[in-house]
Structure 1
Amino acid sequence: MTDKEISEIRRRFRPDRTNITHIAGCYVSDNREIIARFDQPVATATENEREKYMALLKRSLSGGQGKNLLDITFQTAQVADSDEHRLLMNLRDSGLKNESVLDQFFETVVQSLAMETNYVILLAHDVYDVPYKGRDGGHMADGSDTQFSYIVCSICPVKLTKPNLCFDAHEQTFHLQTQDFVVAAPELGFLFPAFDSRSTNLYNALYYTRSADNVHEDFIEAIFRTEPPMAAADQKETFQLMLSDSLEESCSYDVVQTMHSHLSDLIADHKANHDPEPLVLTKQQVEQVLESCGVEQAELESFDKRFDDEFGADAILSPANLIDAKQMQVSTPDVTIKVNPERKDLVETRVINGAKYILVRADDSVEVNGINIHIQE
């Protein structure tokens, strides 16, 4: 799904735009016991309650693609005949009104998900009359000829509030507020099926994780029966180790600086061009950058093999997962230097009389612990 398609579905989660009639839910304890099942009709909820429910569901379609929002792809055989795909289809096609299907889904989630707190599973079904898009990109509400029927799931921690002093207007004094269990923002969730090319794609789901470092692999395995995508933090660490190990002594400051500049430029250009398609990076693109830095053929072959082993030969990566485009960092065990990416030229490495140095040109003011100092000749 593109950013525009995700945004189009996100706009559905407003009381005046949605066709969601009820929300199916399950309240679960931290030791994997179902505390309560509920079915909340939207029509009987207060306006504030409706807005809260919609906000929690909408939150499962937020964040960065490749970090918080991950594509889940089903194999053709799964779509044709598999328990996991059939369960999701039955949830959608029943409009969340089949109790046995809901029980099966809730039990699958409970058995696969370990949470430190109690949590609530929220499920909603919506049918979207997809408006026809004109040549100018505008939507024509009266030109709809496609319906997108989908479910969205948000799994939210339920946390105990901290005790606070609150003002009692009647007694004109402060009292300790009673602690309550409140529903927090979703930890994970998903949309099924995907909304690709503004139409239904039964071969994909859009998965959400609040933490880019934890994709909840057991949940993905249980619900989708697919290999979990590598977490963004793991992608970054793997890419860094892959460069240093395969290039060995050729992995110089200049090589890493050039790679950082190239990826930063890709990210900046993609943002400036407002490209709706996700930004991707292939193995061939990385190798072209390394080759331009003068990396030897043997080291390129080593990188090629390592890439295939770690990510897969045809893998595509998100540049934003591999670097921090806002800064470069040069570190030793005892010193850390943070560098503005636009001024990477201020730093260089050099060997002087056999000793290795990191040199930082200091033409402007220099501060130590916030104190402006002067560098003597």
Structure 2
Amino acid sequence: MNITKGDVQELRRRLKKKECTFDRMCGCYVNSGKQIVLKFTDMFSELEEDEYFKYLEIAKKTISGTLGSNLLELEFDRNEASDERRTYLLTLRDSRLANEELLDRLYEKVIEEYSYPGNYLILVYHDIYDVPSKATSGEEQEESEEIYEYLLCAVCPVDLAKPALGYKEDENRIGARDRDWVVGLPDLGFVYPAFSDRGSDVNAVMYYVRTGRPSHAEFIENVLGCISQRTAAEDKLAFRNVVIDAFGEDEEQADEAFFKMQRTISAMVAEREEDESLPPVELTAEAVSGLAAEAEVPEKVREQIEKSYAHTFGEQPPAAHNVLDSRLVEEGTVRAHTAALEQKVAVLQQELAQHAANETDEDDVPWVTGGSINIELHVPEERAASIRTGIVEGRKCLLVPIEDDEEACVNGKNLPL
């Protein structure tokens, strides 16, 4: 990956009223039947203030997210069709959106490949950025060493506003508000050429997908001519399916093994976050097999996981942080901690119950004031007449005759005879 977090932040910082240099913006409104309803072209600086900031917000959203997660760096495929798409995009950029025929080709291709059931708006911005050089101290200087000219395209869903009540001034009453078609934030978008190492990379596209949405592989391949990539959400789901499916119907064992593997991945990711000098971990099929072994997955299931994983991800193994389900790890850790506490409470309750039982046994011996003990003796009636008191070694004692085949027990303990 060549695009850095700093590159993305530098582009985003410019999308403010005083720093933005968008010169032209074009749009195409498409209904649910894939029919073009409206096309328009505006000089960006001449937009009304409210519109200016709304369109700026859409552009800014298209350069947002996390690199490698929902902000992807795409490479062009190595075939004739992809070369043609790259040449077309460069030509469209160089036209500065003044060529209606070139714009129509983009609109038609997006409409053909973008799968969406409702209405949507295609927006295309053109910009030229004089990239200021940086001094050795890292501070920006006024002199420009590079001109970065690029296109930004955003595809935004357009939905009816939610039903609501409102004040009808002309009728002086509260009534149902008229529902308008509202342009939402982009579902997907791209910047071409990519802004990489503070300059233009005509061999790459920076591609945006709304968090949690599919990557739209058909759009990547057929509109942009690039090699499709999965988002982090898609990587996470695919990884889970590989592990769970390998266990068949044994869902309990599958969930336990998956949690153990996720816990190990979490530790790997945390180590990289603490030490940024460490490279990201790519989860190859072999590495995942090792995770399964550490999670004590049976060998037969482990072999199936490795095989399915290699088939699913091929030569594009995901980074560890892309398949990490942080919420699952957190919830599992809390459950384990809670279970451990419950176990400790159960042990303590058992010890307290045993202690209470011992105290009850001791209370069976009637204590009286002054430290004296009342002794009760239970013997068969025929033996009672033979029991008497006497003086032994100067002490008053209770004398109980014991036959050779008899035993004596006091408070549950046998007396030596």
TM-score by length of 2: 0.71
Q: Of 20, 34, 37, which residue of structure 1 is paired with 2:36?
A: 34
Residue identity opposite 2:229 in structure 1: P
Residue identity opposite 1:159 in structure 2: D
The structure that is helix-richer by fraction is 2
Give the deviation of 1:121 after TM superposition: 0.5
* Matching residue of 2:164: 164
Which deviations, in whole Å up to 9, do the C-alpha atoms of 1:277-312 show, x marking residues without a partner?
994523154344445556688776654443322111
Q: Of 17, 22, 25, which residue of structure 2 is paired with 1:23?
A: 25
What is the alpha-carbon distance in structure 1 between the residues aligned to residue 123 and residue 301 of structure 2?
50
Q: Percent identity?
A: 27
The within-5 A match list for 1:226-245 is 226-244=226-244
RMSD in angstroms over aligned alpha carbons? 3.6
Give the deviation of 1:159 after TM superposition: 1.4
* Matching residue of 2:381: none
* Matching residue of 1:262: 264
Q: Give the direction of change, closer, same or farther, for the CA distance of 1:126–1:269 in structure 2 (3 Å limit).
A: farther
The within-5 A match list for 1:274-293 is 279-283=280-284, 284-290=286-292, 292=294
Q: Is the 8 A contact 2:283 2:317 kept in 1?
A: yes
What is the alpha-carbon distance in structure 2 between the residues aligned to residue 273 and residue 128 of structure 1?
34
The within-5 A match list for 1:39-78 is 39-77=41-79
Does 2:364 correspond to 1:362? no
What's the secondary structure of 2:214's corresponding residue?
coil
Which deviations, in whole Å up to 9, do the C-alpha atoms of 1:120-148 show, x marking residues without a partner?
10000111222223444x34132431122
* Matching residue of 1:5: 7
Structure 2: gaps (5+ residues): 354-417
Give the deviation of 1:261 after TM superposition: 2.4
* Matching residue of 2:359: none
* Matching residue of 2:84: 83
Which deviations, in whole Å up to 9, do the C-alpha atoms of 1:142-199 show, x marking residues without a partner?
2431122111111111112133222356876434322211211111111112122222
Q: Give the direction of change, closer, same or farther, for the CA distance of 1:304–1:327 in structure 2 (3 Å limit).
A: closer
Give the deviation of 1:56 after TM superposition: 0.6
Give the deviation of 1:111 after TM superposition: 1.7
Q: Which moved more, 1:173-182 or 1:162-171?
A: 162-171
What is the alpha-carbon distance in structure 1 between the residues aligned to residue 241 and residue 10 of structure 2?
38
Q: Give the direction of change, closer, same or farther, for the CA distance of 1:345–1:135 in structure 2 (3 Å limit).
A: farther
Structure 1: gaps (5+ residues): 329-338, 348-358, 367-373
Q: Is the 8 A contact 2:25 2:125 kept in 1?
A: yes
Q: Give the direction of change, closer, same or farther, for the CA distance of 1:279–1:95 in structure 2 (3 Å limit).
A: farther
* Matching residue of 1:133: 134
Residue identity opposite 2:61 in structure 1: R
Q: Is the 8 A contact 2:214 2:234 kept in 1?
A: no
Does 2:100 correspond to 1:120? no
Does 2:159 correspond to 1:179? no
What's the secondary structure of 1:14's corresponding residue?
coil
What's the secondary structure of 1:317's corresponding residue?
coil
Q: Is the 8 A contact 2:157 2:184 kept in 1?
A: yes
What is the alpha-carbon distance in structure 1 between the residues aligned to residue 27 and residue 78 of structure 2?
30
Give the deviation of 1:215 after TM superposition: 1.9
Which deviations, in whole Å up to 9, do the C-alpha atoms of 1:64-103 show, x marking residues without a partner?
3333222221135559x73211221111111111111111
Give the deviation of 1:43 after TM superposition: 2.3
What is the alpha-carbon distance in structure 2 between the residues aligned to residue 252 and residue 82 of structure 1?
45
The structure that is strand-richer by fraction is 1
Task: Flag the structure with larger Rg.
Answer: 2
Which deviations, in whole Å up to 9, do the C-alpha atoms of 1:23-50 show, x marking residues without a partner?
1111111101111110011122112211
Q: Is the 8 A contact 2:244 2:258 kept in 1?
A: no
What is the alpha-carbon distance in structure 1 between the residues aligned to residue 31 and residue 165 of structure 2?
28
Q: Is the 8 A contact 1:325 1:341 kept in 2?
A: no
TM-score by length of 1: 0.78
What is the alpha-carbon distance in structure 1 between the residues aligned to residue 345 and residue 118 of structure 2?
50
Q: Is the 8 A contact 2:151 2:192 kept in 1?
A: yes
* Matching residue of 1:154: 154
Which deviations, in whole Å up to 9, do the C-alpha atoms of 1:296-350 show, x marking residues without a partner?
88776654443322111x423133432321333xxxxxxxxxx645557548xxx
Instruction: Tell me: higher relative CO, structure 1 or 2? Use CA pairs within 8 A at least 6 residues apart.
Output: 1
What's the secondary structure of 2:311's corresponding residue?
helix
Q: Is the 8 A contact 1:282 1:315 kept in 2?
A: no
What's the secondary structure of 1:145's corresponding residue?
strand
Q: Give the direction of change, closer, same or farther, for the CA distance of 1:115–1:213 in structure 2 (3 Å limit).
A: closer
* Matching residue of 2:93: 92
What is the alpha-carbon distance in structure 2 between the residues aligned to residue 50 and residue 105 of structure 1?
23
Residue identity opposite 2:26 in structure 1: A
Q: Give the direction of change, closer, same or farther, for the CA distance of 1:279–1:92 in structure 2 (3 Å limit).
A: farther
